[in-house]
Amino acid sequence: MQPQERCNLLNYMMIDCKYTAEIGTDWDAPALRALLARVRKAVLVAHMNADGDAVGSLTGLFSLLGRHTSARLTMLLPDGCPEDYRWLPHTDLILSGKDQPTECQQAIDGADLIVCVDLADLGRTGRLADSLRTATCQKLLIDHHEHSQLKIQHSEFHLEVVDPDISSACELVYWLFRDLYGADAFSTDAATSLYTGINTDTGGFSYSNRDASLYLAAAHLSQCGIDPMDINRRIKNTFTPERLRFFGHAMSQLLELYPEKSLALMTIREEEMRRFGVESPDLTGLVNEVMKLKDTDCAILLREEGDKVRLSLRSKTRYDVNRLASDLFGGGGHQRAAGATSRLSLADTVAKVKRHLGLLAVTCCLLLATSCRDVPVVDLQPAKGDTLKESLIDANRTIARSEETQIDAYVARRGWQMQRLPSGARVMVTHPGTGAPVQYEDTVSIAYSVEALSGAKIYSSAIDTIVAGHLQPTRGLDAAIRTLRRGDRAKVILPSELAYGVLGDGHRITTRMVLIYDITINQ
């Protein structure tokens, strides 16, 4: 069969095959076509931390609207185009809300239509959200995420084309413009962008592919002058040496596995990223690497970002991560891929996730068998009701006594004269300061390093600003600081229950770790 015959056969299949997509019934194709014909200046925008689907749908729309309308088009991304996708057509024309705020504002002010793609609400446009919300022009949403009833009732858009049963924003754009302008609507540039987004948002066609319409869309796009093999190569071969090293470090050092629940958690601190020379866009695809574990059904990646924690959730069959993200932090997405943002600290976010998933009880039981090798193991299996409670209390007392013995031996070896506070923390001033005593709710700057009883360095040269009396989760350190003066340098030893307890910090501090702080209260 000749190429042209294959294309004609494909077009026949696309029109008549029962598997072609139907984009809901709530939108009016003639009205949308008329709206687009009237537009003179349009702004196209996708979400912050843009992925392949966001950049693909944005540049795909740019190509399609440029071909089928006379509008002057401007593309915006809150933090610019990530390096991984700068090879896509027209990405050199994307304005960055971070680096070009004035130009972005001017484009929004002059627009008579704003088209938002691949986002459930304007909040996901980050630094551009306020300007987009106050814009008085018409707003069109093209999205494939689940929308809550509350969002539907209080929509920020005049017209919505939303279908959560479609794999990606790029596939939705494909079917939308096929419906509006026919099978010949797609230039090579548009097809390149849309095929890329479909590929990346389905993990190379390995998930979010419930309907055969996905493959029909991809097949048609592949006949529009694109090179699918080259696109696959560009998608996959994006690693710098720093990024590759960080992925290896993350998989070997930052991954927690819970086989009994088919769960995997990965926790990433900003400090860790700086040490390896990587940034947020470099983490794209990391959670999908975790999903390659054969016995893992759900993977959750938690990433520290300033005063927030970003969560990426993926699942295969067992977990509904859209609901999980919503229940935890009001996030959302799809049943198999979702995201959320936590305003809690990283440690508190990890703790909340583990509590919600029922991992803490598992951790406690595992600790009795694994964390303190020199502590007698308590058999909890026969225990029920109050007997189980008493066994856990006895086990914790045994572990606490063991830690006290280890701390006493550590202090004696060094000849330190330490004050033991009522809480159980030990404090010794090594260089007295001359400032005022630290009082409850004082804001103070501290510099500190942390090590384990073994002498292994955990954190060094850390600086933080705290409010005395509100330092969490290390309540023992908080109490110790309030015995010091501004300018004091001191050693503080915390039993694990006064530090990070059975949880650890999800990073370098493991379960039941006694911590030694070398801390200075800055003047």
> Residue 175 pLDDT > 60, yes or no?
yes
Written as six digits, the tokens of 434 are 């001359």
Fold designation for 3-236: inorganic pyrophosphatase (n-terminal core) (3.90.1640)
Pair 490, 519: CB distance under 8 Å: yes
HSE-CB at 4 with a 13 A cutoff on CA atoms is 0
**What long-range pairs does 416-424 form, CB within 8 A, spacing at least 24?**
416/491, 418/491, 418/493, 419/483, 421/479, 421/480, 421/483, 423/475, 423/476, 423/479, 423/498, 424/476, 424/495, 424/497, 424/498
CA–CA distance, 460 with 447 (Å, rounded to integer): 9
Contacts of 25 (CB under 8 A, 6+ apart): none
CA distances from 291 to 240, 287, 365, 387, 429 (A): 22, 7, 26, 39, 48
Place of tokens 């990391």: 286
Looking up tokens 């006379």 gives 70
Q: Per-residue pLDDT averaged across 316-333, rounded?
A: 87
Structure confidence at residue 26 (pLDDT) = 57
Tokens of 110: 């002059």
Distance CA(402)–CA(408), nearest Å, equals: 10
Interval 426-453 mean pLDDT: 90
Q: Which fold has domain 405-521?
A: Chitinase A; domain 3 (3.10.50)
Q: Which of 268, 320, 260 is nearest to 289 (CA)?
A: 268
The answer, yes or no, to whether residue 81 has pLDDT greater than 50, is yes
Rounded distance, CA 6 to CA 12, Å?
A: 10
The winner for highest mean pLDDT among 99-108, 363-372, 388-397, 417-426 is 99-108
Mean pLDDT of 157-163: 87
Look-up of token digits 């929308």: 147
| pLDDT recorded at residue 474 | 74
Task: State phi, psi for 56 to the nearest 5 degrees.
Answer: -65, -45
Task: List the Cα angle 468/471/472 in 5-degree steps.
Answer: 165
Tell me: pLDDT of 423 over 90: no
* Domain boundary assignment for the chain: 3-236, 241-357, 405-521
Q: What is the CATH number of domain 241-357?
A: 3.10.310.30
Structure tokens at 242: 């720093």
- Nearest to residue 270, comparing CAs of 48, 459, 81? 459
Q: What is the DSSP string of 433-502?
A: --SPBP-TT-EEEEEEEEEETT--EEEEEEEEEEETT---S-HHHHHHHTTSBTT-EEEEEE-GGGTTTT
Give the strand order in the sheet containing 138-143. 95-96, 72-77, 41-45, 113-117, 138-143, 159-162
* Mean pLDDT within 214-221: 93
Task: Write down the residue that tokens 């501004």 correspond to.
Answer: 486
pLDDT of residue 376: 37
Cα–Cα distance, 149 to 265 (Å, whole number): 30
Q: Of 129, 163, 144, nearest to 47 (Cα)?
A: 129
Q: What's residue 193's pLDDT?
A: 97
pLDDT of res. 334 = 78
Asked whether residue 490 carries a pLDDT value surpassing 70, the answer given is yes
* The token pair that represents 63 in the structure block: 């190509």
pLDDT of amino acid 393 = 65
370, burial (CB in 10 Å: exposed 0-12, middle 13-18, buried 19+): exposed
Strand positions, DSSP E, 216-358: 255-258, 263-268, 298-305, 308-315, 332-333, 337-342
Alpha-helical runs (H) found in 124-212: 129-134, 149-153, 169-181, 188-201
Query: Beta strand 95-96 with 426-431: parallel, antiparallel or unpaired?
Result: unpaired
CA 443 to chain centre: 30
Give the least confident one: 47-51, 327-331, 467-471.
467-471
Sign of the C-alpha dihedral, residues 435, 438, 442, 445? positive
Q: What is the mean pLDDT of the chain?
A: 84
Residues 400, 511: Cα–Cα separation, whole Å: 13
The pLDDT value given to residue 191: 97
